[in-house]
Amino acid sequence: MLQWLPENVSTFGGEIDSLFYLIYYITAATFILVTVLMVVFLVMYREQPGRRATYTHGNTSLEIIWTIIPAAILIVLSFMSVSTWAKVKQRAPDSDFELQVAAKQFNWEVVYPGADGKFGTDDDVKFDNDLHVPVNKVVRVQLSSKDVIHSFFLPNLRLKQDAVPGRTILVWFEATKPGKYELPCAELCGFGHSGMKGWLYVHTPEEYAKWAGENLAAKAQ
Amino acid sequence: MSDTAAAGAAHAAHGHHEELGFLRTYVFSTDHKMIGRQFLFLGLFMLLIGGLLAMMIRWELAWPETAVPGLKFIPEPFMYGGIIPPNTYNALFTMHATIMIFFVVMPIMVGSFGNFLIPLMIGARDMAFPKLNLLSFWVGAVAGVVMLAGFFVAGGPAASGWTGYATLSARAQYTGVEWGQNLWIISLLILGISSLMGSINYITTIINMRAPGMTYFRMPLTIWSLFITAILLLLALPVLTAALAMLLFDRTMGTSFFLPEGGGQPLLWQHMFWFFGHPEVYILVLPAMGVTSDLLSTFSRKPIFGYHAMAFSMIAIAFLSWTVWGHHMFVSGMNPLLGTAFMMTTMVIAVPSAIKTFNWLGTLWGGSIRFSVPMLFALGFVSNFLIGGLSGIFMASTPVDIFIHDTYYIVAHFHYVVAGIIFALFAAVYYWFPKMFGRMTNEPLGKIHFVLTYIFFNGAFFPMHFLGVAGHMRRIYNPTQYEFLQPMQHWNVFITVSALILGASQIFFLFNFFWSLFAGKKAERNPWQANTLEWIAASPPPHGNFEVQPVVYRGPYEYSSPEVKEDWLPQDKNLGTGAAARAH
């Protein structure tokens, strides 16, 4: 089933995927165990003439065992999840590459700070739905929304964050492979929700410099 | 407790028989059994509507923007020559979920079986407040009419999802839906009143009207589950009511509870909604668990494995259900530290669910299992709940949830849990049909219904996990608009074909139900040889339920007890000398 995961191209995606795999193996094993036992019991203990059911109200030590084992597994899973979560959502690394993305029905409005490196100045450059970033570079995005809640979803980067009107939320990622990746909206945002999407273009440093020269510098004049 | 029961017995002894007219018997009845039947018919009618909406949703996802066969007659702008436009699509899934949750599972599992079973299973003549009970049904029916009225107003019904996230739901301009959304809010406000009346009635009845000898820990787990559900309803619904009232004010009176331009907070809605919404999930699933426990024990001819653990795990679920709402909001912009805290509580709530599953297995072990139709559906519930419970662990882990949140993985998960309840629902209908209507259902038809439903339920919902793994978003109108989803489109077709067959298979149920209602074999008092008190009443029980006040001597699960020759030992059977012999 997990072969359908989109190719991961972010620095933190690998950690998310290994947790995904781990939980998959644990749950698959549990599922098989319980299902096999259930089928075996249903066959073995089907009603047969002359046999009476075992009269028992339970077994306390057995019940304690099957309470403690799942509890222990679940607690370990929680603790294993904490550091990855903190990495993705709590500790955005510093970077000199920062963008603003404002969601609105039904576009991603992308703003580059222009030559002066500051937002809200005359040399800001705006694009609809296209994000261009260099590979192996921490990208910080100030995410906001102009109307309803949208969700900034990069399946290949294992990144999702809702854009909430009235707030600016910082998200970050670092792409590890050049390419073109889809950027759909993942939160119902109205009749145009389906089809609200953009593209993330991850360039090599040289390509990015070329693109920036043509699009950021040129537009700023 | 025993005072009330004794008074009830005295009342019955008077031979109180007042002939009631048609209206008082079938329409405005105060008899808990008739109200239970009314809730059942209301829920089944809404199930038909909710199911048909699902078929339209599935058609659109498999063959986007093509005409749905047979729906050319639906006028513009709701449909265009049978083609579903995007705003109608949003309305379809909004109404599908709202109807299934609030007007199918709640009326049937809580409304119908709660009303029908509580007095019968605890040995009472009726509910504590029969008139409140009557009002509860009719207020609920009005809520249903108001909800369906949304289909007939300009702009169509609500289209902001069953979760109604602000700001989308808070301003008509964002969805283009004006009165449909208002009616959705008003309907749920009215339904809240109905549920409140019902839950007060259930709690009072269970606390005060149990038969002599029916201690709390001799109550069947069905009653335990309904008791806990009623307490959750009483505490959770007012929070939804408050949130809905604020949303209605934002929409119609210019307030800004959820609108940032007036100083409001969109996330406030999510906190309130899920503070209600997560207990709500357990309101839906607990009665299914209770019914399943009773049925597995009865048809395994064996006491339930770990009765106290089963009751206490439900109590634990009820308490913990108030502490997990934030797991719906991991990527909402809520403080990520809170996400970590909610992950911990969510992992903990999985433990009582695991206990229940293992105890169900323990109940089957060593049994003498009868594969009746209700038993098959109860086993189907266990099998689906297992999948739904395990898939929940993925989204409990915050990092994994970043990826699968708002994808079909979630859709798969909650359909295995909430749509899986339909198996417990069918189990309950087949099991108590003889008691409700005095006739047996047809067994071969029931088995065909089970096999088809089980296969095509899994065909419809299991591949949704695959779509979720591929990143397929929820609530999108046309998956082929996305390049990364195009290789998965064949799964959408597979799911839709399964769903259409699943829908069509329900004809076996409808036919069986209505045919048996009029022409089924007459049912005896205790066709399943079960222990609980409802089976000592006539089928169907008369007004007042029991000829003599039952007295309870033991718990509900004494199957294959060494004390008697038969493999069942009813709760009210006085063993006399045997009991005395044991006492020394």
CA–CA dist A103, A146 (Å, integer): 6
CA–CA dist B188, B252 (Å, integer): 16
CATH of B35-567, one of 1.50.10.20, 3.40.50.720, 1.20.210.10, 3.40.50.920: 1.20.210.10
The helix-helix angle for B443-461 and B373-396 (nearest 10°) equals 10
- Nearest-Cα distance to chain A for B443, in Å, is 17
- Picking from A74, A90, A106, the residue at the C-terminal end of a domain is A90
Kindly state whether residues A69 and A141 are assigned to the same domain: no
Tell me, what CATH number does A82's domain have? Answer: 1.10.287.90
CA–CA dist B387, B558 (Å, integer): 30
CA–CA dist A158, A13 (Å, integer): 5
Cβ <8 Å between A55 and B350: no
Measure CB to CB from residue B402 to each of A158, A164, A184 and give the nearest one: A158
3-state secondary structure of A108: strand
Which positions 55-94 of B are in contact with A (Cβ < 8 Å)?
A: 85-87, 89-90
Cβ <8 Å between B403 and A195: no
Measure CB to CB from residue B87 to each of A156, A167, A191 and give the nearest one: A191
Reported as a single tens digit per residue, the pLDDT across B128-167 is 999 999 999 999 999 999 999 999 999 999 999 999 999 9
Q: Using CA coordinates, name the residue in chain A closest to B161.
A: A188
Q: What is the pTM of this model?
A: 0.94
Alpha carbon distances (Å) from A2 to A17, A106, B469, B471: 9, 31, 7, 11
Q: Which residues contact B271 (CB under 8 A, 6 or more apart)?
A: B325, B326, B329
Reported as a single tens digit per residue, the pLDDT across B281-319 is 999 999 999 999 999 999 999 999 999 999 999 999 999
Q: Which residues contact B202 (CB under 8 A, 6 or more apart)?
A: B114, B118, B127, B226, B227, B229, B230
pLDDT at B8: 45
Strands A150-154 and A125-128: unpaired
CB proximity B407 to A under 8 Å = yes
CA–CA dist B332, B335 (Å, integer): 9
Reported as a single tens digit per residue, the pLDDT across A4-27 is 999 999 999 999 999 999 999 999
User: B-chain residues within 8 Å CB-CB of A42?
Assistant: 364, 369, 379
Cβ <8 Å between A75 and B474: no
Residue A208 structure tokens: 């990015």
Residue with tokens 């000398």: B577
Q: Where are the domains of chain B?
A: 35-567
CA–CA dist B46, B99 (Å, integer): 7
Distance of CA B13 to the CA centre of its chain: 37
CB proximity B307 to A under 8 Å = yes
Kindly state whether residues A63 and A104 are assigned to the same domain: no
Residue B197 structure tokens: 């009346």
pLDDT at B22: 84
Reported as a single tens digit per residue, the pLDDT across A167-216 is 999 999 999 999 999 999 999 999 999 999 999 999 999 999 999 999 88
3-state secondary structure of A154: strand
Measure CB to CB from residue A182 to each of B87, B161, B484 and give the nearest one: B484
Q: Which amino acid is at B56?
A: M
User: A-chain residues within 8 Å CB-CB of B562?
Assistant: 55
- Local confidence pLDDT in tens for the 584 residues of chain B: 444 444 444 444 444 556 778 888 888 999 999 999 999 999 999 999 999 999 999 999 999 999 999 999 999 889 999 999 999 999 999 999 999 999 999 999 999 999 999 999 999 999 999 999 999 999 999 999 999 999 999 999 999 999 999 999 999 999 999 999 999 999 999 999 999 999 999 999 999 999 999 999 999 999 999 999 999 999 999 999 999 999 999 999 999 999 999 999 999 999 999 999 999 999 999 999 999 999 999 999 999 999 999 999 999 999 999 999 999 999 999 999 999 999 999 999 999 999 999 999 999 999 999 999 999 999 999 999 999 999 999 999 999 999 999 999 999 999 999 999 999 999 999 999 999 999 999 999 999 999 999 999 999 999 999 999 999 999 999 999 999 999 999 999 999 999 999 999 999 999 999 999 999 999 999 999 999 999 999 999 999 999 999 999 999 999 999 999 999 999 999 987 555 444 44
Q: Which residues contact A193 (CB under 8 A, 6 or more apart)?
A: A106, A185, A187, B86, B90, B475, B476, B477
pLDDT at B26: 84
Q: What string of DSSP letters covers B414-443?
A: HIIIIITHHHHHHHHHHHHHHHHHSBPPPH
Q: How many degrees, rounded to 5, is the angle at CA B350 between CA B366 and CA B317?
A: 90
Q: Terminal CA-to-CA distance of chain A, rounded, Å?
A: 51
Reported as a single tens digit per residue, the pLDDT across A85-130 is 999 999 999 999 999 999 999 999 999 998 888 898 888 999 999 9
DSSP code of residue B218 = G
Tell me, what CATH number does A103's domain have? Answer: 2.60.40.420
The helix-helix angle for A60-85 and B336-364 (nearest 10°) equals 150
Residue B13 structure tokens: 């002894």
Q: Which of A217, A215, A160, A113 is nearest to A10 (CA)?
A: A160
- Nearest-Cα distance to chain B for A11, in Å, is 13
Kindly state whether residues A21 and A124 are assigned to the same domain: no
ipTM: 0.95
Average predicted confidence (pLDDT) for chain B: 94
Q: How many CB atoms lie within 10 A of CB B109?
A: 28
CA–CA dist B175, A105 (Å, integer): 10
Best mutation site among B329, B369, B395 for testing chain A: the one with the most A CBs within 10 Å?
Answer: B369
Kindly state whether residues A18 and A62 are assigned to the same domain: yes
CA–CA dist B95, B101 (Å, integer): 10
CA–CA dist A161, A144 (Å, integer): 10
CB proximity B292 to A under 8 Å = no
Domains contained in chain A, number:
2
- φ, ψ for residue A110, nearest 5 deg: -105, 130
Confidence band for A135, pLDDT divided at 50, 70 and 90: very high
DSSP code of residue B106 = I
Q: Are B368 and A42 in contact (CB under 8 A)?
A: no
CA–CA dist B255, B505 (Å, integer): 48
Instruction: Please give the average per-residue pLDDT across A37-62, as a whole number.
Output: 94
Q: Which amino acid is at B145?
A: V
Task: Determine the structural domain holding residue A42 and report its residue range.
Answer: 2-47+56-90
pLDDT at A122: 86
Alpha carbon distances (Å) from B506 to B119, B414, B431, B453, B454: 30, 21, 17, 8, 11
Kindly state whether residues A124 and A198 are assigned to the same domain: yes
3-state secondary structure of A103: strand
